[in-house]
Amino acid sequence: MLVISNESFNRLCGGLVKIVPITTSTNEFPTHIPLPNGLAIEGKVMIQHERTIDVLARGYEVAD
């Protein structure tokens, strides 16, 4: 998952963050945007699946 909300939103919402999932699928959908080269995670961001999740309840790990 890629967090797309900014720090102000994250602080104000007490653990809620806006995310988009990342896929390694080779499908060529126009809403799947490739991540830049050189990151710890490879794949495509699925912008059509934006969600808000509670990272305090789910936990998280910073990858890059």
Please report, for the chain, the start and end positions of each structural domain, with discontinuous segments joined by +.
Answer: 2-58
Q: Which pLDDT score is estimated for 24?
A: 93
In this structure, which amino acid lies at residue 25? S
Instruction: Tally Cβ neighbours within 10 Å of residue 39.
Output: 12
Q: Which pLDDT score is estimated for 60?
A: 82
| Residue located via tokens 């995310």 | 19
**15, 57 Cβ separation under 8 angstroms:** yes
**Bridge partners of 60?**
none
List, for the chain, all residue ranges whose pLDDT scores fall below the cut of 70: none
Query: Which CATH fold topology does 2-58 show?
Result: SH3 type barrels. (2.30.30)
Q: pTM, whole model, 2 decimals? A: 0.79
Long-range Cβ contact pairs of 26-33 (< 8 A, separation 24 or more)? none
Give me the phi and psi of 49, to 5 degrees please: -115, 40
